[in-house]
Structure 1
Amino acid sequence: MCDAQRHTQFVRGFSADLDDGEPQVFSRQEKDDTFSKNDMGIPLARDRFPEKVYWRNKWKFDKSLPQFFHSGFIFINEKAANILRDHDLGQGALYPVDLFENDRVTPIEANILTLCIGNQKDTVLLDQSENMKRLWPRHDFFSPQLWVEDDNIVVDRSCLEGPDLWADPKIKFVFFMSDRLGQALIKARMKNAVKLVRCRVS
């Protein structure tokens, strides 16, 4: 399980511009809809993801970019993308994105892609899992506690079939990957870069 989306150290201040006059313009409602559907693993077309994002702070961006970061959209670098490409992404996809300074002209040199999760597997066994919380009363959406540990979350054996990357539609703000994909990221020394948490298969 990738748990990076819920932790502030993975947030970077980039935004798809709302009104820059480009052919591709995202309203706030459209962005929120994309965030929600991507979080649930619903396949989404290229035009639901930005081709450009802008540093939204007043000072110049002068830091190196991590291998995984997010600001609503999920971003990964080329190294991580190459590992994902070597696995079965199903209806998931990687879309290139250009980064710019807040002047909206100066490029930030980086090979970055946005991640469309694109697959659903309803496999988390809530009655066997630990450190899970219901997010809202009367709604069946759950999320791991921030202190979730390896093997706290139990998944059904059916998760072993199909794509190597997916979301469970009832579990918010995390996504899942096969052991073979997880091990490939660990071998590339990216376990902490994507904050991997091991799940137990029942």
Structure 2
Amino acid sequence: MAEGDIWVSNVLNNSSLVIGTNIDREEPAWKTIAQGKKPADEELPIRIYAMYKDQAFTKKFPELFEGGGGTKISPQLEGIFRKFDLGASWICPAQLFLYDRATPVDHQFSIYGGREKLQFLIPEESEGLRGYPVTRQQPNPPPPDVWEMPWELKDNDIAIAPRDLGGLDIWYDPKLHGAMFFSDSLKQALCDGGYARLFKFYKCKVIAVH
């Protein structure tokens, strides 16, 4: 495992970073992504479409935003991410179009996809996790399959027991909805690049694996 602390961000649950976009799952790039693969060069850029007829996209785009097609990042963020070990994740150029699917929007961004997924969460050692199992009406309901982040996330609220990461710098845990985990070095690079306010990093409680 890489030296240093491990950090978690709740940025993917930030509703202010959602922009209404849509995709066509019949297009080659999206068929490839549905198979769990990175799109081929001839399938790029990945096409993204406005969700509504009156969308003009006159406001400034955030450096990271969500919506149909997953996570989109600016060229500046891409430049930082590409210096680190992303594991199974990939970054591919995308092109946004208006609702007519023909008029391009003058905005440069890429899609961050693939998502390296590792199950390190220790719910019983964490604080403030939210979740409602389907069987919650039973006398002794089992824990939920997927947890939600605490309402007010703080340092050491999220407990993880990571195994050897082999140099990996960013990953997701399918047991914790919307969370992004970062190595100390990637977190520091993002803070140095001016993205501390965007990601709002919180230190994880690391449980030793014996």
TM-score by length of 1: 0.80
Partner of 2:156: 151
The Cα of 1:146 is off from its aligned counterpart by 2.8
Partner of 1:45: 38
Please identify, of 149-158 and 47-56, the stretch whose mean Cα deviation from structure 2 is larger.
47-56
SS at match of 2:115: coil
Matched to 1:53, the amino acid is I
Partner of 1:16: 23
Contact 2:29 2:39 in 1 (8 A): no
The Cα of 1:71 is off from its aligned counterpart by 0.6
* Structure 1 residue runs of 4 or more that deviate by more than 6 Å after TM superposition: 47-50
The Cα of 1:24 is off from its aligned counterpart by 5.2
Partner of 1:112: 109
Cα 1:55–1:95 shift into 2, 3 Å:
same
SS at match of 1:80: helix
Contact 1:121 1:159 in 2 (8 A): no
2:64 is the counterpart of 1:61? no
Where structure 1 has 5 or more consecutive residues not aligned to the other structure, the ranges are 38-42
Aligned alpha-carbon RMSD (Å): 2.8
Contact 1:125 1:156 in 2 (8 A): yes
Partner of 2:3: none
1:124-155 superposed Cα distances (whole Å, 9 cap, x missing partner): 22111111122433542112123222221122
Separation of aligned partners in 2, 1:88 and 1:25: 24
Partner of 1:93: 90
Please identify, of 108-117 and 152-161, the stretch whose mean Cα deviation from structure 2 is larger.
152-161
Partner of 2:190: 185
SS at match of 2:57: coil
1:86-107 superposed Cα distances (whole Å, 9 cap, x missing partner): 0011111001110112232222
Q: Name which one, 1 or 2, has greater alpha-carbon Rg.
A: 2
Which of 75, 79, 83 pairs up with 2:80? Answer: 83
Contact 2:87 2:168 in 1 (8 A): yes
Cα 1:166–1:59 shift into 2, 3 Å:
closer
SS at match of 2:16: helix
Partner of 1:166: 171
Partner of 2:4: none
Figure out how many residues of one structure are paired with residues of the other and give that number. Answer: 188
1:139-191 superposed Cα distances (whole Å, 9 cap, x missing partner): 42112123222221122243654411111121222221211111111111112
Partner of 1:40: none
Separation of aligned partners in 2, 1:131 and 1:121: 21
Which of 2, 7, 14 pairs up with 2:9? Answer: 2
Separation of aligned partners in 2, 1:186 and 1:117: 24
Separation of aligned partners in 2, 1:170 and 1:126: 9
SS at match of 1:177: strand
TM-score by length of 2: 0.77
Cα 1:5–1:114 shift into 2, 3 Å:
same
